[in-house]
Amino acid sequence: MAAVEADDDTVWLGIDLGTQSVRALAVTTGGHVRGHGSAPLTGTRDGARHEQLPADWWSATGAAVRGAVRDLRVPVAAVAVCSTSGTVLLTDDEGEPVSPALMYDDGRAAGEARRAQEAGEELWRELGQRIQPSWALAKLLWLTGDGATAPVGPRPRVSHQADVITSRLVGRPVATDSSHALKTGYDTRRRAWPTEVLDRLGLSERLTFPDVVLPGTALGTVGSAGAEATGLAEGTPVIAGMTDGCAAQLGSGAWEVGRWNTVLGTTLVLKGVTADPLHDPSGVLYNHLSPDGTWLPGGASSVGAGVLSAAFPGADLAALDRAAAAHEPAGALSYPLVSRGERFPFLAPDAEAFTLGTPADDADRYASLLQGVALAERLCLAYVRLLGADVEGPIVFTGGATRSAYWNQLRCDVLGRPAAVPEQADSALGMAVLAARGAGTARNDVRGMVRIAAEFAPRAAVKERFDEGFGELVDALERRGWLPSETARYARDKG
């Protein structure tokens, strides 16, 4: 595809297929939002089951995109799509669904996950991955096995959530991207499907696996039917996307090797950029390929801001922020898990939230939770440094918790590194950035698409106040048998 000469009049479109809605964002190369649209999604939940209808994805995409482009003065220069990681279904040769769409958190494939793990044990160990029930590879075994709820026909095609939309936009089935394919078992090191493992599982002879391209690759252009449904101009380039988590990282501006982004919402997610993949023997971190061939390692903790709403329902959090400033450090030390079990930077299915000491009052208790999340974030960074990553540069904070300026500064102090908060960092923006990059716009020319709202500098004196508490937290996690001793030693020495 010929490169697009981009200026602030050039508009790029990002589409984010979420769980509850589809969002579309039209953004200029200078980072100005020219249009946005959204449409709700619903699904079926019943115990471990979580399914959605692909037809709903397409109708919601049409509504969201029409809302985003309705008032544009220029046509969209390119579009990219992200979706939930691990969501998978089967389609026919024309791209029409022939199975239910199993969502990212559908948990019915626990037995199949064990089978897939055993069949590829050596490969997964090499890649530092562990197949889980939420992964698409396990769900493919469920869809083609005795648990399937509908016949799938001869050799159906494996499709991810974003593939359904890009294929509809183009008017024919198109390649998937390596980001969405990762949890389907794609070998990102060799850039190939693991044929031997798929053969052992009996999937090679039963399913058609799509071609795989790097994110940012041109898939085709919007066809007549796609244009009619969305309001996009026929011929608009369609660019291969990424999973929603990777898309959000692009939206944060953490693109260069050594840059890291922590997303603090209900839980905490850490994502960064490395020149080579990080090998994690425990399998709690895995590596996506970036559009430029570098690597995007990341992991998700069960610690996060969700503890605040649970502990202080309906409270004035801004007032509690002000009160917490008088408790640095708090009189108690907390490991604030949102739910049972931890998954990063260590795997401990039986881990539970705990507090050491007794808070003096609500303000002290609140402060201990804020500080506990920041200390857990520091432990996450220590772990990826242990695995060989460069983590010394500035960090980007995104997620709902960044609405608290006090917490942003506290986290910056505890981590001991500069931090920035973008004006708008979400998956739809990340896909607009990828659309621009995939259309040939230079990295420096798209940097303005991510606009910084606030910057924070660490205060060394404040960090020192929390060093002792960090060591105590590491000790407590090790004593409980959750944090491996090697990680604990490294965190105490280098964290």
Instruction: Assign residue 168 the CATH number of its domain.
Output: 3.30.420.40
Among 225, 245, 265, give the residue marking a domain's end: 245
Same domain membership, residue 73 and residue 208: yes
pLDDT at residue 108 tops 60: yes
Going by their DSSP bridges, the two strands 176-177 and 157-160 should be labelled as unpaired
Q: In which band, very low, low, confident or very high, does the pLDDT at 153 lie, cut at 50, 70 and 90?
A: low
Q: Which run of H or E residues covers position 24?
A: strand 21-28
The average pLDDT across 92-121 equals 95
- How much is the mean pLDDT over the chain? 94
Give yes or no: residues 52 and 179 share one domain: yes
Helix (H) and strand (E) counts in the chain: 17, 22
Determine the average pLDDT of the residues in 185-204.
97
The pLDDT tens digits of the residues spanning 379-430 come to 999 999 999 999 888 999 999 999 999 999 999 999 999 999 999 888 999 9
- Res. 341: pLDDT tops 60: yes
Q: Which pLDDT score, from 0 to 100, does residue 425 have?
A: 81
Indicate if 228 and 318 belong to the same structural domain: no
Q: Is the same domain home to 67 and 46?
A: yes
Looking at the structure, do residues 264 and 230 belong to the same domain, yes or no? no
Distance, CA of 95 to CA of 158 (rounded, Å): 10
> What is the structure's pLDDT at 8?
74
As a whole number, mean pLDDT of residues 139-145 equals 94
How many Cβ atoms are within 10 Å of 244's Cβ, its own excluded?
A: 27
Q: How many domains does the chain have?
A: 2
* Model pLDDT, residue 99: 92
Q: Which of 33-42, 148-157, 305-314 has the lowest mean pLDDT?
A: 148-157
Q: Which residue has the tokens 């252009």?
A: 221
Answer whether residue 430 is part of any domain: no
Write down the pLDDT at residue 150.
Answer: 52
219 within a domain of the structure (yes/no): yes
pLDDT band at 148 (very low <50, low <70, confident <90, very high): low
Identify the bridge partners of residue 212 per DSSP, sorted by sequence position.
176
Structural domain that includes position 22: 11-245
Q: Is residue 1 part of a domain?
A: no
pLDDT for 81 beyond 80:
yes
**Pairwise CA distance, residues 445 & 462, whole Å:** 37
**Residue whose entry in the numeric block shows the structure tokens 């001991």:** 416
What's the mean pLDDT in 286-294? 92
Confidence band of 152 (pLDDT split at 50, 70, 90): low
Contact 330, 304 (CB under 8 A): no
Query: Quick check: is 187 in a domain?
Result: yes
Q: Dihedral angle at the C-alpha atoms of 462, 464, 468, 474, nearest 10 degrees?
A: 80
Strand intervals (E) in 76-189: 76-83, 88-91, 101-102, 157-160, 176-177
- Give me the percent of the chain exceeding a pLDDT of 90: 89
- Whether 212 and 128 map to the same domain: the answer is yes
Do residues 328 and 351 both lie within one domain?
A: yes
| Residue 3 pLDDT > 60 | no
* pLDDT at residue 4, rounded to an integer: 52
Q: Is residue 105 pLDDT above 70, yes or no?
A: yes
Task: Report if residue 261 sits inside a domain.
Answer: yes
Whether residue 2 has pLDDT greater than 80: no
pLDDT at position 282: 86
Q: Is 2 exposed, middle or buried (0-12, 13-18, 19+ CB in 10 A)?
A: exposed
3-state secondary structure 76-93: EEEEEEEECCCCEEEECC
Tell me if 239 sits within 8 A of 247, measured CB to CB. Answer: no
Q: Are 450 and 436 in contact (CB under 8 A)?
A: no
- Residue 337 pLDDT more than 90? yes
136 and 238 in one domain? yes
For residues 354 and 218, membership in a common domain is answered with no
Averaged pLDDT for residues 96-101: 93
Same domain for 281 and 240, yes or no, is no
Q: Which of 313, 360, 356 is closest to 335 using CA atoms? A: 356
Q: What is the pLDDT of residue 281?
A: 86
CB under 8 Å to 78, separation ≥6 — which residues?
4, 12, 13, 236, 237, 238, 239, 435, 436, 438, 439
Q: What is the mean pLDDT of residues 63-78?
A: 97
DSSP 346: S
| pLDDT given for residue 151 in this prediction | 53
What is the reported pLDDT for 495? 85
What percent of the chain shows pLDDT beyond 70?
97
pLDDT tier at 146, thresholds 50, 70, 90: low
Q: Is 143 found in the same domain as 17?
A: yes
Given 245, 276, 293, the domain boundary residue is 245
pLDDT at position 57 is 98
Q: What's residue 393's pLDDT?
A: 84
Nearest to 305 by CA among 208, 380, 354, 372: 372
Residue 80 lies in a domain: yes
pTM for the full predicted model: 0.90
At residue 1, the pLDDT reads 53
Q: Are residues 197 and 53 in the same domain?
A: yes
Of 219, 245, 271, which one is at a domain's C-terminal end?
245
Q: Residue 128: its pLDDT value, please?
A: 86
